[in-house]
Amino acid sequence: MMKEHTRVKMTQMNYDTARPAAENPLKVEDISLRDGHQSLFATRGRTEDMIPVAERMDEIGFWAVEVWGGATFDTMHRFLGEDPWQRLRTLKRYFKNTPFSMLLRGQNLVGYRNYADDVAKLFVKKTVDNGLEIFRTFDALNDYRNFETVVPVIKECGAHFQGCICYTLTEPRLGGEVYNLDYYIKKAKELEDMGADSICVKDMAGLMAPYDAFALVSALKEHVKPLIHLHSHFTSGMSAMTHLKAVEAGVDIIDTCLTPYAYRTSHAALEPLVMTLLGTSRDTGFDIKALADINEILEKEVMPKYKHLLDDTKVSLIDINVLLHQTPGGMLSNLVNQLREMDSLDKIDQVYKELPRVRKELGQVPLVTPTSQIVGTQTVNNVLFDTKEERYKMVSGQVKDLCYGLYGKTSVPIDKEVQKKALKGYPRGEEPISCRPAQVLEPELEKARAEIGDLAADDEDLLLYALFPVTGKKYLKQKYGREQVPDSLKPITLEDVKKQDALIKKAKAGELVEKPAFEKTENTRVFTVFVEGEAFEVGVEEQGGSPVITHAGPAGASPSVPPQPASGARELKSASPAAPAQPADLSPDVKPAPAPAAADTKGTPIKAPMPGMVIKYEKKVGDTVDEGETIVVIEAMKMENALPAPVAGVVAAIHFDTGDSVAKDDVLAVISPA
Ligand code: CO
């Protein structure tokens, strides 16, 4: 139990004086700049918005700050036009005292699959070179053979190896045969034997109940020597209580976020914990006023730029569903988005029902990146594409890899039937492996070096490409000026935010009236076009030849006119006169690359079953293919789906390129009879 210091005087609420040093101060890692914005703002935090508080944060006395890893590496180069390596170097200039921590996905590094050993080794080395000191290392299956390559490099570089246990449950109160107290003690001992400098229990879905935390931390403190660190998300609403019970049980380090980055699917805030422990034997010693100053800067100068990313569809701050079906918040929003893109949001209840079943069949895996995406996406695939007669009709490439053993060993064996079906025709073989996964992976670095050539100026560039070949290459072209940085990647300023707010205020007050600057005729067809989620109204005039765009403006600015189903009306996307008449479509979504006219090629089309990005075509025009052979691989929700030829024949047309975005039902290729 914690002891209270009776000497603390707070008559004038002066927290800085008369505060004796605690006997065993709780260590705190701040994770606002990684997990905080990853959990609340889709990892969109920009380096420039971390700088205003960096020096002040450095003075608080954190055990560490988490600034890198997890989804940051992917998101930065893909959506922010930022070099992830540069963030480390930049922040290092401001954090002179506090060590940097990152979330390393074991052999998955910062990606979604196991990379070859040569890539993993170079990645860890370059990460240390760029200023990283603490590697929080986890494996989604808690299969520590996936640590065997990175840990020796972490140690050789003189960095701190924090071994992680992903926390999950099969039954409440740590019950059941799989994820019980014995399991966690066994895992902690494995980590200790690997030389862990500290051990983190990673409760990514906020499932850990306060009294379970007490039991778990007490047991770990009893059985292993390394420092015990708790990472417990707020999602279900328990984590502040869980933190306190863990502190009472003697936990050494706790993860929290600064208030503006806290709660919801993120973590409980630091400041209430500081006040809770004030004057006790576990007092953090942190200056509450200094924390309040940081919060004010974040609230005024930073948060306005991000609040539009906050999920404000719900009033509740917590999600008790996670306790019922273990779907973490981040995964839930992914599932909802995925269903929405497929116009199937009504199937969400079916997804909830199917999810525990898929999880069990795939080896009762913990749900954390990448297994949360693998299980979640496969569940959606099952709900959307399965028939009464056949389950697992569309198996993602990653599920096949999991069934093969490429992610490691699952806690319980994968369902034999599912495994057999998934591995039918699997290129590496139909018999699953049981060795350390990376043992079957060929070295990847030299191949990547040859492919990327002089576009990679250094090893950091090379690694970016090796980890993310499609988006990484795109980013490198932007970085070195070979391609323009799209406006959508550029930061918004506080000025932009003010202008937007003023516009919204005007609109709400009914003062925003714009007269349509065009005359509609009987030939005018009006479309609502969505650009980046914003609706624009576009009028198209039929004048015998090609359609002529007569006007374009924000939707809602003029009274809506029903589309004219005029004869010969053409779809906006395909202006080719040869295109057949289409029924008037109210909302052609023009966000993805426009599909080329597909109708001039006769044959059987292969359509995108879901919106996504083309990863690669396995075949080229003119190739003869058998029925069932993979023609194209598309990525949707980070999972790869191989699309087979529906019939035998010859590839007559290919309509997209690697890296192109495609909408549902876009024709990706056409197979004509041989
Ligand atoms: Co987390």
CA within 13 Å, CB half, 1? 2
- Contact present, 114 and 438 (Cβ < 8 Å): yes
Predicted TM-score (pTM) of this structure? 0.79
The answer on pLDDT for 591 being more than 70 is no
Distance 38 CA to ligand 1 centre (A): 8
Domains 327-434 and 598-672 share a fold: no
The answer on pLDDT for 667 being more than 80 is yes
Distance 204 CA to ligand 1 centre (A): 5
Distance 519 CA to ligand 1 centre (A): 55
Q: What is the largest CA-CA distance in the chain?
A: 90
Torsion angle of C-alpha atoms 514, 515, 517, 518, degrees rounded to 10: 130
Q: Any idea where the domains of the chain sit in the sequence?
A: 27-308, 327-434, 494-579, 598-672
Q: What phi and psi values does residue 165 have, to the nearest 5 degrees?
A: -115, 120
Distance 96 CA to ligand 1 centre (A): 25
Distance 249 CA to ligand 1 centre (A): 22
Architecture, CATH, for domain 27-308: Alpha-Beta Barrel (3.20)
Distance 462 CA to ligand 1 centre (A): 28
CA within 13 Å, CB half, 51? 8
Enumerate the β-bridge partners of residue 228.
Answer: 199
Percent of the chain with pLDDT over 70: 84
Distance 446 CA to ligand 1 centre (A): 33
Q: Is the peptide bond before 605 cis (omega within 30 degrees of 0)?
A: no
Distance 409 CA to ligand 1 centre (A): 23
Distance 265 CA to ligand 1 centre (A): 9
Distance 231 CA to ligand 1 centre (A): 7
3-state SS, residue 440: helix
Q: Which helix or strand (DSSP H or E) is residue 351 part of?
A: helix 348-361
Q: How confident is the model at residue 551 (pLDDT cuts 50, 70, 90)?
A: very low
Distance 435 CA to ligand 1 centre (A): 29
What is the predicted pLDDT for the residue at 585? Answer: 29
Q: What phi and psi values does residue 263 have, to the nearest 5 degrees?
A: 65, -170
**Alpha-carbon span 88 to 131, nearest angstrom:** 6
> Any idea which residue has 């963030």 for tokens?
87
CATH 3.30.450.40 assigned to domain 327-434? The reply is: no
pLDDT single digits (tens) 338-395: 888 888 989 988 998 899 999 999 999 999 888 988 999 999 999 999 999 999 999 9
CATH classification code of 598-672 = 2.40.50.100
**Alpha-carbon span 3 to 328, nearest angstrom:** 36
Distance 255 CA to ligand 1 centre (A): 9
Distance 67 CA to ligand 1 centre (A): 12
pLDDT single digits (tens) 266-314: 999 999 999 999 999 999 999 999 999 999 999 999 999 998 888 777 7
Distance 125 CA to ligand 1 centre (A): 24
> Any idea which residue has 């107290």 for tokens?
181
Q: Which helix or strand (DSSP H or E) is residue 290 part of?
A: helix 288-297
Distance 670 CA to ligand 1 centre (A): 44
Distance 408 CA to ligand 1 centre (A): 22
Distance 203 CA to ligand 1 centre (A): 7
DSSP state of 79: I
What percentage of the chain's residues is helix, strand, coil (to nearest 5)? 35, 15, 45
Distance 103 CA to ligand 1 centre (A): 9
Total count of residues recorded for the chain: 674
> Which amino acid, 245?
K
Torsion angle of C-alpha atoms 360, 366, 367, 371, degrees rounded to 10: -80
Distance 296 CA to ligand 1 centre (A): 24
Distance 366 CA to ligand 1 centre (A): 13
The answer on pLDDT for 327 being more than 90 is no
Distance 98 CA to ligand 1 centre (A): 20
Distance 36 CA to ligand 1 centre (A): 8
Distance 591 CA to ligand 1 centre (A): 32
